[in-house]
A and B are shown apart, each in its own frame.
Chain A
Amino acid sequence: MDSVFFYCSPETAAPKGGDLHGLKIAIQPNMSVAGWPTDAGSNALTGFAALEDATIVRRLRQAGAFLCGSTRMSEFGFGLQNSRAGEALRQQTADAELVIDLTGESRLAASRVALCGFKPSYGLVSRFGLVGLIPSMECCGVLSGSVKNIRDILKTVAGEDELDFSLPDEEPVDFSPQEIDPQETSIGVITEAQDALSAEEKEMFRASLDELREAGFSLRDVSLPDFSLFSLVHRIVGSVEASSCAGRYDSVRYGQRAPGAKNWNDMYLLSRGVAFGPLMKSYLFQGAFFQFERYDAFEDACRIRARLLADMQRLTSQADYLVVPAVDCAPSGAPASLADTYAQFASTAFANVTGQPALYLPPAPDGAHSGFQLAGPRLSDASLLALGEHLLNVRQGGK
C-alpha cells in the first residue's frame, strides 16, 4: 500500500524553542516549502519544487513546529478521492495536519479518522505560497485530535501578511483561551440543512443535538430555505474560478510536457491533455462552459452567493453559533464524478461559499450520535474553537 506521505522531510527535528516546539505537523504538497516537491497532487506540476516558503510554513517553523512531510492529496486538493488526509494523525506520525479546504475536505477528512477538523474564516490565514485552485473559496484547514493544537496553530499562522495583500485589513483575532458559559450561549439548528439526510442520519443528528442540550446550551431552530443552493453556487463559481486559475498550470515550464507535438500550439494542448486527471478535467470543462458559454449563469451564481451570505449573516444574528450535520456520503468504488463529489460535500460547502469558520467535532467514543459541524460568523474563529474545546471537556467529565 502507498505511503501516507508524498514527501518526508529530510530533517529529523525542529530547532529548539518556540510556542509550537515539539509539535509535529504534516502538510500537503500544495503548500510551498522551499526545495520540497510541490505538485499539489497534479501531473501538471510534476517535479516542481517550490522556490520560497509559504507564509504559513515560515510562521510554523519560526514557532518551533516540526514539519514532518507532506501527505498525498487529491489533484489541487479538490475532493478526497486520492487524499490520505488524516491518516498521519491516525498513525500518530503527526500531531496535526494542514489540509486545504475547498469544499469541506478538512472537515470530512477529520470525520473519517474521528478527530477534529477546522476551516478558518476566509481571509484570516495568508494564501501566499499555496498552490490554489478556487481562490475565493479555499482556505488552509487544520486537523488534530486536540482543539488546543488547532488553536495554537491558528494563533501562529493567522493574521496580516505583507506577502498577501488580499487579506482584509481587520482587527486581529485573539486566540487566547476563553470561557464558554452554556447558559449564555445559543446555538441555531438550520432546519433545511437536514433535508438531505436519510432517516437514520436524521436520528443520529438529533442525538448530537441532545448532547448540546445536555451540556446546557439552548438550541433554537433557524431557517435558511435556500441551503441546498450552497452546493450549486459553489459548483458554478468554483468551477469557473478553477478553469481560469488553472490556466497557469501549463505543464510547460514544469510538470509533464507531452511528447510528439508538431508546434507550440499542439504542445500546449497535448500537455494539458495529459496533465489533468479525469475529475479535474471535467471540473475545468464545466468551468470553461460557464465562463465562455453561460457567463450569465456565472453572474447569477455570484449574485445568489451574495444573497446566501446575507441570509447566513441573518442566522448568525439569531444565534451565537450554528450546528450543521456533517455527512460524508463518499461514492463507493469507481472514480468519483463531479456530481458525486458535490453530493459528498453538500453539508460542508456552505462555509466555503460564505467564508465563515466551521469546526468538525467527532462523535463521543461511546456516543450513539454522529459527528457534526459548528459554525459561527466570520472571524469568530477563536470563540468557535473555545466552544469546541468546551464540548470535548464536557465529554471527558469536565465542567
Chain B
Amino acid sequence: MEFEAVIGLEIHVELNCATKMFCDCPNRPGDEPNVNTCPTCLWFPGAMPRLSQEALEKASLLCLGLGAELQPRSAFDQKVYYYPDLPKGYQLSQAHLPLSRGGAIDIVDEGGNPKTIRIHHIHMEEDVARLVHEMEGRLPISLVDFNRAGVPLVEIVTEPDFRAPHEAMEFLKALRTQVRSVGSSECSMENGTMRVDANISIRPRGTTQMSTKVEVKNMNSIRHVADAIAYEISRQSAAVQAGETVILHTRLWDTDKKVTLPMRAKFEGPCVPDPAVPVIELSRDWIEKMRARLPEMPAAMAERFVTQHGLTGEEAMLLSSDPEVAGYFEALVGQGIAPRTATHWLTTQLIPAVRDRRQELSSSPVTPVRFAALLKMLSQDEINANAAREVLVQLFDSDETPEAIVSARGFGQVSDPNALDSLIDEVLGAQPAAVADVRSGCGKAMGFLIGQVMQASGGKANPKVIRELLAKKLGAIS
C-alpha cells in the first residue's frame, strides 16, 4: 500500500522584545541564571501579570506580516500542566480566543508547483523556566533558571497542509524571512528563538481519512525538521504495514542517531480563562496603525523587483528574502547602478566578502555609496572586472574613495587601441599555435589570447577592446 503523509506544524517564535511578556524584567534568557526575575515571573503568590504593550505590538505585526486576521477580542487562559519548569502549574496562553486567525504562506513544492500553506491561528503565550540538570557529587540535581520564564512567545499553528518534508522546509524558510522582515524575531532554530513541533500522520494515498497523529519535537535546525518528518513517515508506514496501530504520543528527534524516540507524556489539561489578564480588545484604528507600520513583505517586494527593475524571479526572491540585502540593493539602484549589475555584484562579490570578514552588510565599511562609485567606474569602462574585485578588497581596509584607490594604485583600465597595439603584436608573435587555432575557428583559443594580453598589460587592459583588436588583426591576417 502506498501512503501519503499529512503534516501540520506548530512553531514557537520568541519575540525580540526588551522585556518579558508580563513584567518589566529584561528579555535576556541567556544571562547568568535567575538574574532577570521578579515576583511576577517567579510566579510568586499575590503577583499579577501585566501584559507588555511591546509584546502585543510585535505579535500583532507578526500576524499581519503573515496575512493573518487580528481578532478584535482575544484573551489569555491558564494552560495547566505539571512539570518543574512551570512551578506555577499553568502557563498563560491564548487557548480559546487567539490573537489572530487565518493567514498563509506561499511555497514551491518538490515538483516546482506553487502551493499555499494555510495558517490556522496565531496566539501569544509566555515561555516557561529552563531546567538545568547537574551532578552534586554523585547526586543528580535539577536546577531551575527563571530567566526564560515569562519570555514573550507566539505560536503559529498551521493547517495540516504539508505532504512532504521538503514543503515543511520551504515553509519554515519563508516564515523566517517574513518574520525577520517585520522585525519581530530573528527566528533562529539554532539559538532557540524558533522552535518547531511537527504533527505527522499517514493515510493510504488518495483517501481523506484522518489518522492518529504523532507529535515530534526537539529539532534544532530546519534541516532536522525535514529529517525528522521523513523518518517519522517511514517509521509509521512500516508500523502500519506490519499491522501495528499508531497511538497518539510525542516523540523527540535524536540529532545524533537521526531517529525519533518516544517521550514521557506531559500531564496537560483543558484551559481555564484567567481573569487576571484583561481581555485584549483591538480597535479597527489600532489594527490599521499596526498595518501602517508593516514593511513591504518579501513576496510583494520580489514582485516589484521583477516589474520595476527587470530582475528574474529567482534574483528577486534572493534579494527580497533578506531585508538588509534588499535595502542595500535599492540603495545601489538609487545611486544609478543598473539593477542587473547591482544584483550580480552584490550577491556574487560583496555578500560573500562581507560574510568572509564576519561582518554585517549594514555595518560594513563598504557602504552603498562607495560600492556604487566602484560599480559606476566599472560600467563606464574606467576599470575592468578584475580591477573592481581588487578595489573592493581595498575598500574594506581603507577609508579612501574607490576613485582615489583606482588612481593611486593604477587600476585604471587601458582602453586606448594605440596603447594596446604593441602588446597584442608581442602576444601574437609568441603564440603561433593559438593564433592558428583561432583562425580555424576555435573560440577557446580566443579566450586564451585575451588572457595573455591581459596578463601582459598587468591586468589593466580593457578586455572588450582587446577582443575587438584581436578580431580585427586575426581577421586581417587571414
Decide yes or no whether B345 CB sits under 8 A from chain A: no
| Nearest chain A residue, comparing its CB with the CB of B268 | A292
**Which residues of B in the span 233-281 have a Cβ within 8 Å of any Cβ on A?**
269-270, 272-278
CB-based contact A241/B45 at 8 Å: no
Decide yes or no whether B39 CB sits under 8 A from chain A: yes
The number of residues on chain B lying at the interface, defined by a beta carbon within 8 Å of a beta carbon of chain A, is 29
Decide yes or no whether B46 CB sits under 8 A from chain A: yes
| Nearest chain A residue, comparing its CB with the CB of B39 | A51
- Main secondary structure on B side of the interface with A: loop
Decide yes or no whether A240 CB sits under 8 A from chain B: yes
**Which residues of A in the span 42-82 have a Cβ within 8 Å of any Cβ on B?**
45, 48, 50-52, 54
**Which residues of B in the span 266-320 have a Cβ within 8 Å of any Cβ on A?**
269-270, 272-278
**Which residues of B in the span 130-163 have a Cβ within 8 Å of any Cβ on A?**
142
Query: Which residues from chain B sit less than 8 Å from chain A, CB to CB?
Result: 39, 42-51, 78, 80, 82, 84, 87-90, 142, 269-270, 272-278
Decide yes or no whether A217 CB sits under 8 A from chain B: no
| Nearest chain A residue, comparing its CB with the CB of B144 | A253
Which one of B89, B272, B273 contacts A248 once the chains associate, using CB atoms below 8 Å? B89
Decide yes or no whether A249 CB sits under 8 A from chain B: yes
Which one of A52, A131, A163, A244 contacts B90 once the chains associate, using CB atoms below 8 Å? A244
Decide yes or no whether A156 CB sits under 8 A from chain B: no
| Smallest beta-carbon distance A318→chain B, Å | 28
CB-based contact A247/B84 at 8 Å: no
Given known A-B contacts A166-B276, A168-B278, A250 and B45 have beta carbons under 8 A apart: no
CB-based contact A248/B80 at 8 Å: no
CB-based contact A244/B272 at 8 Å: yes
CB-based contact B142/A244 at 8 Å: no
CB-based contact B78/A244 at 8 Å: yes
- 7 nearest interchain CB pairs? A247-B89, A248-B88, A244-B272, A131-B45, A136-B275, A32-B46, A129-B46
Which one of B48, B78, B80, B89 contacts A166 once the chains associate, using CB atoms below 8 Å? B48
Contacts A128-B48, A264-B84, A291-B270 known; 18 new A-B pairs at CB < 8 A: A40-B45, A48-B45, A52-B39, A127-B48, A128-B47, A130-B46, A131-B45, A135-B274, A136-B273, A163-B50, A165-B277, A166-B276, A245-B90, A248-B88, A248-B89, A248-B90, A250-B87, A291-B272
CB-based contact B45/A38 at 8 Å: yes
Decide yes or no whether A164 CB sits under 8 A from chain B: yes
Q: How far is the CA of A295 from the CA of B50 in the complex (A)?
A: 28
Which one of A32, A127, A129, A268 contacts B276 once the chains associate, using CB atoms below 8 Å? A127
Given known A-B contacts A166-B275, A247-B80, A292 and B270 have beta carbons under 8 A apart: yes
Chain A residues whose C-beta falls within 8 Å of the C-beta of B88 in the assembled complex: 247-248, 250
Q: How far is the CA of A45 from the CA of B44 in the complex (A)?
A: 10
Decide yes or no whether A252 CB sits under 8 A from chain B: yes
CB-based contact B46/A38 at 8 Å: yes
CB-based contact B90/A295 at 8 Å: no
| Nearest chain B residue, comparing its CB with the CB of A264 | B84
| Nearest chain B residue, comparing its CB with the CB of A161 | B48
Q: How far is the CA of A241 from the CA of B270 in the complex (A)?
A: 12
Chain B residues whose C-beta falls within 8 Å of the C-beta of A250 in the assembled complex: 87-89
CB-based contact B277/A253 at 8 Å: no
CB-based contact B80/A244 at 8 Å: yes
**Which residues of A in the span 249-264 have a Cβ within 8 Å of any Cβ on B?**
249-250, 252-253, 264
CB-based contact A45/B45 at 8 Å: yes
Given known A-B contacts A165-B51, A166-B276, A241-B272, A131 and B89 have beta carbons under 8 A apart: no
Q: How far is the CA of A128 from the CA of B269 in the complex (A)?
A: 27
Q: How far is the CA of A346 from the CA of B232 in the complex (A)?
A: 56
| Smallest beta-carbon distance A258→chain B, Å | 15
Chain A residues whose C-beta falls within 8 Å of the C-beta of B42 in the assembled complex: 253
| Smallest beta-carbon distance B275→chain A, Å | 4
CB-based contact A291/B274 at 8 Å: no
| Nearest chain B residue, comparing its CB with the CB of A241 | B272
Chain B residues whose C-beta falls within 8 Å of the C-beta of A129 in the assembled complex: 46
Chain B residues whose C-beta falls within 8 Å of the C-beta of A45 in the assembled complex: 45
Chain B residues whose C-beta falls within 8 Å of the C-beta of A247 in the assembled complex: 78, 80, 82, 88-90
Chain A residues whose C-beta falls within 8 Å of the C-beta of B142 in the assembled complex: 264
Q: How far is the CA of A141 from the CA of B140 in the complex (A)?
A: 48
Chain B residues whose C-beta falls within 8 Å of the C-beta of A298 in the assembled complex: 272
| Smallest beta-carbon distance B474→chain A, Å | 84
Chain B residues whose C-beta falls within 8 Å of the C-beta of A168 in the assembled complex: 278
Chain B residues whose C-beta falls within 8 Å of the C-beta of A248 in the assembled complex: 43, 45, 87-90
| Nearest chain B residue, comparing its CB with the CB of A164 | B48
Most buried by A among B46, B78, B80, B84: B46
Given known A-B contacts A244-B90, A264-B142, A165 and B272 have beta carbons under 8 A apart: no
**Which residues of A in the span 109-148 have a Cβ within 8 Å of any Cβ on B?**
127-132, 135-136
Q: How far is the CA of A328 from the CA of B142 in the complex (A)?
A: 49
CB-based contact A268/B82 at 8 Å: yes
Q: How far is the CA of A163 from the CA of B51 in the complex (A)?
A: 11
Q: How far is the CA of A249 from the CA of B87 in the complex (A)?
A: 8
Given known A-B contacts A166-B276, A244-B80, A252-B87, A131 and B269 have beta carbons under 8 A apart: no
CB-based contact A166/B45 at 8 Å: no
Chain B residues whose C-beta falls within 8 Å of the C-beta of A52 in the assembled complex: 39, 46
Q: How far is the CA of A38 from the CA of B45 in the complex (A)?
A: 9
Q: How far is the CA of A305 from the CA of B42 in the complex (A)?
A: 33
| Nearest chain A residue, comparing its CB with the CB of B269 | A292
CB-based contact A291/B80 at 8 Å: yes
